[in-house]
Amino acid sequence: MDQLTTTPALYEAYKKRLQEIADIRYATALLQWDQETYMPAGSITTRSRQIATLSELAHARFTESVTGELLTNLLERKDLTEEQRSNLELSQYDYQQQVKLPSGFVRELSETISNSFNHWVEARKNNSFSLFAPWLEKLVTLKRKEAELMGYEHHPYDALLNQYERGCTTELLDQLFSRLKPALAELLAEIKQQPQVENRILKQHFQEDQQWAFSMDLLEKMGYNFHFGRQDKAAHPFTINFSSEDVRITTRVREEDISYMTWSTIHELGHALYELGLPNNQYGLPLGEAASLGIHESQSRLWENNIGRSLAWCTHFFPVLKSYFPQQLEPYGPEDLFRAINKVQPSLIRTEADELTYHFHIIIRYEVEKALVEGSLEVNAVPEFWKQRYQHYLGIDVPDDSNGCLQDVHWSHGSFGYFPTYSLGSIYAAQFYATLVKQVPKFEKLLQEGEFEIVKNWLSDNVYIHGRKYTSEELCRRITGKGIDPEDFMQYARDKYRFIYAYKLEGIIL
Amino acid sequence: MDQLTTTPALYEAYKKRLQEIADIRYATALLQWDQETYMPAGSITTRSRQIATLSELAHARFTESVTGELLTNLLERKDLTEEQRSNLELSQYDYQQQVKLPSGFVRELSETISNSFNHWVEARKNNSFSLFAPWLEKLVTLKRKEAELMGYEHHPYDALLNQYERGCTTELLDQLFSRLKPALAELLAEIKQQPQVENRILKQHFQEDQQWAFSMDLLEKMGYNFHFGRQDKAAHPFTINFSSEDVRITTRVREEDISYMTWSTIHELGHALYELGLPNNQYGLPLGEAASLGIHESQSRLWENNIGRSLAWCTHFFPVLKSYFPQQLEPYGPEDLFRAINKVQPSLIRTEADELTYHFHIIIRYEVEKALVEGSLEVNAVPEFWKQRYQHYLGIDVPDDSNGCLQDVHWSHGSFGYFPTYSLGSIYAAQFYATLVKQVPKFEKLLQEGEFEIVKNWLSDNVYIHGRKYTSEELCRRITGKGIDPEDFMQYARDKYRFIYAYKLEGIIL
């Protein structure tokens, strides 16, 4: 690394290096997308090794000492643009994080994950925790090792949290959840006093291909550009990208419930619009990446819940939905849809939970993971612990592990510390949404008229264009004037659910 | 490379290295498959760079000196198994070939190809050779450079031919074609004297989704295992694999012609069965690869033509096809189908040509490429040369370049020296088929009964299991007792077409 090389030339070398690594990472992502969508079942073993090789390769290239030298050399220069400095500082942070993980560890983890996933699928299918337990054991061991390798100040779980949400700690989460729990419990108790809302409108027969056509229409109307993306079917809905010009989503259909696919599609749309809106000229560089998983989740939640589960949205989309299912929707109106999709009821499955009880699903997973990582909970004791917590927080019995601690794919993917970003996402979403509503005049009217472009533009200006420039906390402060704070979420929740559960809705626009 | 390392340990290191390179190559192949099938149009530029990076990476890894050292060290050992020695010798050949191409050249070629492809698409769409000419110019220049880098004895084009078909030379092709041309011309003149056969059975309206369902049924009945493969739609039919456990084909549909999709599907099936039948335990190693492109093409041609265009096949599949299109096929019988799909007529488009005139399409392309590479033909003169040759060999006028020299994707893919393997494939197919018919008692009766397993098993024993162990010539000798020889093809052609054009077919089984 010649000190005499000009800054632009050296920055080009840095950029070339990172973009080639991005090419490998995105090829890996395509191997994964294909595995979940179109791959013939018989090639799973070979696919796992292909993914492992490319993951290891990208990690090995990035952590080569030449990357570190390039970064050190460049960051000493005085003639960097602000944008260049941002990229370099973020890359240096990534580099310092990544070099802590030896390549052998990365490959071992990747292979353990591939195998764990298959065993988890079997375990869930057979409702047999013991089929998954040895793999969960291996994963917990590897994750504890990872925490030690990454380092932490107070709690090993902090090291894992930090990988998904920079700066997030058990201390911060304990604080947030201790505010959220009593406030949510109070609102849930209030709702329990009211007559339950009706959701029969959702529980009819909705033909699969009609649902599919509706979802494609919906995506287009809400601003998804199929020139740069596509929707496919997969067992688990997800968003994946291979650049900001190729951002794909997946969904799945249940013919006996129209909401199952619809709000999942809107959720993924929120993720996809974020990726599509990231700065295109920053391919492979930090400023071309999302701020954090928590912010990513704020985007999906904002579209799914704050926008997609509003009365304005229902008013706008009810006639569209009715054009696909005239018979099923004949006896109903937009308010019926609005109430039905916002029915609050403690339930077993996280992905089907309402916006309020959802947080308890996360809190339970947080408690399990924290305890596993700190070693205060044995893997074999997870099912019992799980049942006990569901009874404690939601007052429900968990009948079996398939509907209990085997329900989520995350652990089999090696994702420990990921779940809390879902709650963070809802909290950020409520803060952003409250700000948006204040800043855009007549927002609800515009929403009711289907002007979703306004939401996308506001998010683009406030979130998308910054890429990873700011931390979640900084971004939140920039947009809302304060750091993360569950109060906006609680206010939104109280307004919405008191309205739904205590008033008649006819003729009222929320 | 320690001389003291045991042979098994060193062989493992070689295997690990090659298998990791295979992982990268197959990821590249998936990027290509996706580009042709499901990729959103807007991401073509980024996809091109991703493919270029991974191609260069695989090439760079393979040509690292450590590969050469490993091979040299291992090949000096006395305790290698025969299988190990085969793999190592083939890898050494590949290594010696590949190191001739510097990484910079590989990347330049890859990027030129990506761009050329887009310009070719535009040029063909707009029927404008001049849009493609500058790119063809660049490609010819690069290919001439490649020929110099690779080296050759007599003719620069030999170096390019050798990349697709080891040992193939202009001398060999000139010899083969000089035997084929008069024999084909004679048979074509004979046919021209007879009344033309009728193909109205094919030219009706065949609904796309019914055609699709038929093709899936056909694939299954002919031995394709969807556990290890799938069929998708693409603009150009092709076969691609990401291991021998994931071999995919594509096809395309024309509602006004049932043959357009059907025999293309059978052609790709032939390629796919070969890849699926390669030794599974040789992943990433030469013995897990096909013998050559010519042998690959022999497999597709054998299934498409020798099997798929036989009266026995038509007899077996006519009722199946009729079950999908009862109305369209009501007035017809198997013999009508047989005659229709074997109609001989000089035509403009290679991929739609009959088995006889097909060779002239190849000969013309061979003449063009050879002349471009030796420098006796200018790029700008290609359209005129093309027209002149079509008039000369097939007696037809080429109305425009989209139906002329712009019709094939190959040049835009940088594939010069590829076309001749199609003719070699037909010739090998006829030799293999003649042997098969001799060796399997009552073969035609079994075929008529739909016993395609017999063909697959025979090919597996004689071709698939050997992987790349033998050269095309050696394999051909092993199976048929002689080297490549167009006589079997001509005999097959004479028997088949004299029968079709000179006799009535009712009640006769061919």
**What was the ipTM of the complex prediction?**
0.94
Annotated active-site residue A122? The verdict is no
For chain A, give the number of residues.
Answer: 510
- pLDDT tens-place string over residues A291-301: 999 999 999 99
What's phi and psi for A338, nearest 5 deg? -55, -50
Other CB atoms within a 10 A radius of the CB of residue A371 amount to: 16
Place of tokens 């917990």: A140
> Is a pLDDT exceeding 80 seen at residue A362?
yes
CA dihedral of residues B52, B28, A51, B233 (deg, nearest 10): 140
User: To the nearest whole number, what is the mean pLDDT of chain A?
Assistant: 95
What's the average model confidence in pLDDT over B411-439?
97
Domain extent listing, chain B: 7-99, 170-502
- Of A359, A419, A369, A364, nearest in space to A155 by CA: A369
Choosing from B146, B268, B304, B369, the catalytic residue is B268
| Nearest chain B residue (CA) to A28 | B27
Q: Which of B18, B25, B242 to mutate to test the interface with A (most CBs of A within 10 A)?
A: B242
pTM across the whole model = 0.94
Which residues from A are below 8 Å from B19, CB to CB?
A: 49
Other CB atoms within a 10 A radius of the CB of residue A79 amount to: 9
Residue by residue, DSSP assigns A414-480 as T--S-THHHHHHHHHHHHHHHHHHHHSTTHHHHHHTT-HHHHHHHHHHHTGGGTTSS-HHHHHHHHH
Q: How much is the pLDDT for A137?
A: 98
- pLDDT tens-place string over residues A36-82: 999 999 998 899 899 999 999 999 999 999 999 999 999 999 999 99
Q: How much is the pLDDT for A504?
A: 55
Could you please state the CATH topology (level 3) that the domain comprising A170-502 is classified under. Neurolysin; domain 3 (1.10.1370)
Which residues from B are below 8 Å from A45, CB to CB?
A: 245
> Using DSSP, how many helices (H) and how many strands (E) does chain A show?
21, 3
Q: For chain A, give the longest Cα–Cα distance.
A: 76
* Whole-Å CA distances, A298 to A225, A378, A415, A458, A487: 21, 33, 19, 14, 15
Q: How confident is the model at residue B104 (pLDDT cuts 50, 70, 90)?
A: confident
- Let me know: does B424 contact B484? Beta carbons within 8 Å: yes
- Of A266, A215, A309, nearest in space to A499 by CA: A309
CA distance A46 to chain B (A): 7
Interface residues on B facing A, Cβ-Cβ cutoff 8 A: 19-20, 23-24, 26-28, 30-31, 34, 38-43, 45-47, 49-50, 53-54, 57, 225-230, 232, 242-243, 245-246, 248, 283
- pLDDT tens-place string over residues A173-195: 999 999 999 999 999 999 999 99
> Is a pLDDT exceeding 60 seen at residue A424?
yes
Of A110-124, A144-158, B85-99, the least confident = A110-124
CB–CB contacts below 8 A, A to B: 104
Choosing from A268, A289, A304, A355, the catalytic residue is A268
Interface residues on A facing B, Cβ-Cβ cutoff 8 A: 19-20, 23-24, 26-28, 30-31, 34, 38-43, 45-47, 49-50, 53-54, 57, 225-230, 232, 242-243, 245-246, 248, 283
Cα separation, B116 vs B412, whole angstroms = 5
What's the average model confidence in pLDDT over A356-366?
98
> Is a pLDDT exceeding 50 seen at residue A507?
no
Element (H, E) at A192: helix A170-193
What's the average model confidence in pLDDT over A264-289?
98
CA distance B350 to chain A (A): 31
Q: How much is the pLDDT for B507?
A: 44
Would you call B54 and A23 a contact, using CB atoms and an 8 Å cutoff? Answer: yes
What's phi and psi for B247, nearest 5 deg? -120, 115
Residue in A40, A53, A248 nearest the CB of B20: A53
> Is a pLDDT exceeding 50 seen at residue B258?
yes
- pLDDT tens-place string over residues B149-203: 999 999 999 999 999 999 999 999 999 999 999 999 999 999 999 999 999 999 9
Give A103 or B493, the one with higher predicted confidence.
B493
* Whole-Å CA distances, A46 to A121, B227, B405: 18, 14, 40
Q: For chain B, give the longest Cα–Cα distance.
A: 76
Cα separation, B377 vs B388, whole angstroms = 13
> Is a pLDDT exceeding 80 seen at residue A481?
yes
Cα separation, A101 vs A22, whole angstroms = 19
- pLDDT tens-place string over residues B111-151: 898 889 889 999 999 999 999 999 999 999 999 999 999 99
Which residues from A are below 8 Å from B50, CB to CB?
A: 23, 26-27, 242-243
